[in-house]
Amino acid sequence: MSSSCNNNMKVTLIGASGAIGKPLSMLLKINPLITELALYDVHQARIPVPGIAADNSHINTPAKVRGYVDPEHLPEAVTGSSVIVVCAGIAQKPGMSREDLFGVDAGIMRDIATTCAKYAPNAIMCIMSNPETSLVPLTAEIYKKAGVYDRKKLLGITTLDVTRARTFYAEATGLDVEKVDVPVVGGHGGCAILALFSHATPYVKLDEKTIEALDEHVQTAVTEVVDALAGAGSASLSMAYSAAELVDVVIRGLKGGQHTSACAYVNWPYQGCDFFAQVTNFGPQGIEGVQKIDNLSPFEEKRMTESVEKVKEDVKKGVEYAESH
């Protein structure tokens, strides 16, 4: 049973020893709404998760922190959780696409999802392992096999695309970066990412050349970071920041808060695509619904067609993997 029905708020972070997991564990520790933080990773991780748990436990915030190592302790790590965040998997390196990660990460995600479906079926499952546009549908299939699937409790974290779109839009317009918002829909990777600058707030009319450049920048931003790190990893700090923001929205929704919405990759069909990133509303049961996508510019209409087709391919890949493994 999820613990969100009282003041307890247990969050489990799977992949806590990784480049994203470490900073994310600290950001979750300082969230005042979280009362218990379970950090999990495998013993092969370069930095032992008990050490990360011990380090975090010295931060003077309410959340109690505990580390768990290896699959035999994953059931205990997830039991009683209201929210599970998954960032386990291999890091993207120069020349690698998110799709290249699928072969390894699909197997990791399958095993994690199988355990979570058994021991924490009511938790909100938030996936950020790549390619998440395939791994979220894969997880849905595993939950269906276990007879516990609820689309209100599964999502992919695409908030990083929103974070980047906000930053680049503010740079282009001169607006205060902390006061702008740009909805980003579609998928999470390449042409599947579609930032709707026509719906940005505050709205500033931009010429088509600028919009196309911004669109391209949001799509290729990850490559910029991967190349700059020269083989040492991928975006981790901005990803951790963005994931923490999304988890906070989910938790505030679980607690019945107002105005709890964020872009997320969810099982709410759009144009024949079963999963799609959309502005999502959160409540006490998890996902309450999505906000309508309409009034697109001609450029966005054209890009939307590309996004939908790419996401459809990714969804199919995840479903087929789940069916054959």
* C-alpha torsion 213→228→194→84, nearest 10: -160
Domain match, 76 and 127 both: yes
Domain match, 143 and 188 both: no
Residues marked as binding for NAD(+)? 15-21, 41, 128-130, 239
Rg (CA), the chain: 19
pLDDT digits (tens, 9 = 90+) for 19-66: 999 999 999 999 999 999 999 999 999 899 999 999 999 999 999 999
Q: Is residue 249 part of a domain?
A: yes
Domain match, 185 and 245 both: yes
Please report, for the domain that includes residue 99, its CATH number: 3.40.50.720
Helix, strand, coil fractions of the chain, as percent rounded to 5: 50, 20, 35
Could you give the 3-state DSSP secondary structure of residue 143? helix
Domain match, 119 and 214 both: no
> Please, is 178 exposed, middle or buried when counting C-beta atoms within 10 Å of its C-beta (0-12, 13-18, 19+)?
exposed
> Which pLDDT does position 6 carry in this prediction?
57
Task: Flag residues of the chain having pLDDT under 50.
Answer: 1-5
Domain match, 165 and 311 both: yes
Asked whether the bond before 131 is cis by omega within 30 degrees of 0, the reply is yes
Question: DSSP secondary structure string, 99-126?
Answer: GGGHHHHHHHHHHHHHHHHHH-TTSEEE
- Structure tokens belonging to residue 273: 């695509």
* Catalytic entry in 43, 188, 199, 325: 188
Indicate the residue among 111, 136, 156 that finishes a domain: 156
Domain match, 151 and 171 both: no
0.85 exceeded by pTM? yes
Q: Which domain holds residue 257?
A: 159-315
Domain match, 201 and 93 both: no
Count of structural domains, the chain: 2
Q: Is residue 75 part of a domain?
A: yes
> Which pLDDT does position 98 carry in this prediction?
62
Domain match, 260 and 130 both: no
Please report, for the domain that includes residue 226, its CATH number: 3.90.110.10
Q: Is residue 322 part of a domain?
A: no
Q: Is 188 a catalytic residue?
A: yes
> Which pLDDT does position 258 carry in this prediction?
73
